[in-house]
């Protein structure tokens, strides 16, 4: 019954005192949309587009095929937000025809936006397909680039979006510590930030996300990761722009409260986590989330950070 009660509460995300935190879904293609709608997602915070590129190991998908797939997702969220991430190839998501095969460290090589800037035709087709897919639909389309390292990257992406005639907000994912540290500079070029905490943890701790032996360092409660989230959220606030989280961190209900307290403006996660995050957020005020965030950042380890936040949020 507890599960049913949680699932029934499908209103917009907010703290108990009404501070709104839109709860969005991560989707990997049109097949994930029904579960997101059912869980009451207010939109999509991360539409991973790699699935389109997996069928053919030699060529990018045609513009028509892309338009069709994007439209299916955009149509499912009338009046909602849909944040599409352009192709994130390389490292843990290699593609034969785009990813260099001779790099000693693929995670530190040509991947994400770097790959697209080396293949401007692939980026152009994707952006044009998105523009066509959104035509005439009452959706708020946002498009973001993975693996943005600095302002030069952000400008190159924004220029490509403008050249494709895209009527959308352009954003940058914060997945590299340099992007968090210089978030204000990146925000001179783009309109929003989205923290990819999976890669941000990988690059902050020099701990490969695919290597189980270093998983201790992949824990999103690590205070150093919380510091980078705080820096990014503060930069966005200073620029009057939004800063969401779309990595795994957002799906932990307690951590979702901490992220809210750090100033994150939306949370995106797998549909299955939405009811739990919504219910936990609704039990705490923004001030309590902020106190939990301060307590977590004052800790020295991930475990201590979790316990400190838990103590603040349960002792009320
Ligand atoms: C991330 O890195 O946190 C992220 C959301 O993107 P992906 O997991 O697809 O790399
Ligand atoms: Mg990533």
According to the model, what pLDDT value does residue 189 have?
A: 98
According to the model, what pLDDT value does residue 253 have?
A: 98
Share of the chain above pLDDT 90, in %: 91
According to the model, what pLDDT value does residue 160 have?
A: 98
111 in ligand 1 pocket by Cβ < 6 Å?
no
197 in ligand 1 pocket by Cβ < 6 Å?
yes
Give the lowest-confidence range in 93-97, 172-176, 241-245. 93-97
Question: What is the β-pairing status of strands 43-48 and 23-27?
Answer: parallel
Cα–Cα distance between 234 and 220 in angstroms, integer? 19
- Residue whose Cα lies nearest atom 10 of ligand 1: it is 199
User: pTM for this one?
Assistant: 0.96
- Residue whose Cα lies nearest atom 1 of ligand 1: it is 196
Ligand nearest to the CA of 92: 1
Checking if the pLDDT of 127 tops 80, the result is: yes
Structure tokens at 190: 């783009």
* Cα distances (angstroms) measured from residue 244 to each of 7, 131, 192, 278, 314: 23, 23, 8, 15, 25
According to the model, what pLDDT value does residue 315 have?
A: 84
Helix, strand, or coil (residue 253): helix
- Residues 225-249: what's their mean pLDDT? 97
User: In 110-186, at which residue ranges do the beta strands (DSSP E only) sit?
Assistant: 140-145, 169-174
Helix, strand, or coil (residue 26): strand
CA of 165 to the centre of ligand 1 (A): 27
Cα–Cα distance between 65 and 133 in angstroms, integer? 11
Confidence of residue 7 (pLDDT cuts 50, 70, 90): very low
Ligand nearest to the CA of 210: 1
Checking if the pLDDT of 3 tops 90, the result is: no
91 in ligand 1 pocket by Cβ < 6 Å?
no
Enter the ipTM. 0.99
199 in ligand 1 pocket by Cβ < 6 Å?
yes
- Which atom of ligand 1 is nearest to 196's Cα? 3
Question: What is the β-pairing status of strands 43-48 and 242-245?
Answer: unpaired
Cα–Cα distance between 298 and 156 in angstroms, integer? 37
According to the model, what pLDDT value does residue 9 have?
A: 67
Over the stretch 30-75, which tens digit does the pLDDT of each residue have? 999 999 999 999 999 999 999 999 988 899 999 999 999 999 999 9
Average pLDDT, the chain: 95
- Which atom of ligand 1 is nearest to 50's Cα? 9
According to the model, what pLDDT value does residue 5 have?
A: 53
Checking if the pLDDT of 8 tops 60, the result is: no
Checking if the pLDDT of 231 tops 70, the result is: yes
Cα–Cα distance between 5 and 25 in angstroms, integer? 20
According to the model, what pLDDT value does residue 146 have?
A: 98
Checking if the pLDDT of 89 tops 50, the result is: yes
Helix, strand, or coil (residue 68): helix
Over the stretch 167-205, which tens digit does the pLDDT of each residue have? 999 999 999 999 999 999 999 999 999 999 999 999 999
280 in ligand 1 pocket by Cβ < 6 Å?
no
């Amino acid at each position: 019954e507890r599960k049913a009660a949680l699932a029934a509460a499908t209103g917009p995300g907010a703290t108990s005192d009404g501070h709104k935190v839109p709860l969005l879904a991560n989707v990997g293609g049109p097949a994930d949309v029904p579960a997101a709608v059912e869980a009451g997602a207010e939109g999509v915070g991360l539409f991973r587009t790699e699935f389109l590129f997996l069928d053919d190991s030699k060529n990018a998908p045609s513009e028509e095929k892309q338009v069709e797939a994007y439209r299916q997702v955009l149509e499912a969220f009338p009046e909602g937000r849909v944040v599409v991430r352009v192709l994130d190839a390389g490292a843990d998501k290699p593609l034969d025809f785009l990813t260099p095969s001779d790099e000693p460290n693929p995670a530190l090589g040509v991947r994400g936006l770097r790959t697209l800037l080396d293949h401007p035709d692939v980026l152009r087709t994707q952006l044009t397909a998105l523009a066509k897919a959104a035509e005439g639909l009452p959706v708020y389309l946002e498009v973001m680039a993975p693996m943005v390292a600095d302002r030069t990257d952000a400008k190159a992406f924004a220029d490509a979006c403008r050249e494709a005639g895209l009527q959308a907000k352009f954003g940058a994912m914060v997945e590299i510590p340099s992007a968090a540290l210089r978030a204000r500079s990146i925000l001179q070029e783009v309109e929003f930030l989205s923290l990819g905490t999976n890669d941000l943890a990988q690059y902050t701790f020099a701990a490969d996300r695919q290597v189980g032996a270093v998983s201790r360092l992949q824990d999103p409660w690590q205070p150093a990761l919380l510091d980078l989230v705080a820096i990014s959220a503060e930069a966005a606030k200073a620029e009057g722009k939004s800063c969401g989280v779309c990595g795994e961190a957002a799906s932990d209900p307690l951590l979702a409260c901490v992220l809210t307290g750090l100033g994150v403006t939306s949370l995106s996660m797998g549909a299955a986590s939405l009811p739990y995050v919504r219910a936990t957020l609704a039990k705490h005020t923004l001030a309590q989330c902020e106190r939990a965030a301060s307590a977590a950042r004052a800790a020295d380890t991930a475990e201590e950070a979790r316990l400190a936040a838990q103590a603040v949020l349960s002792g009320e």
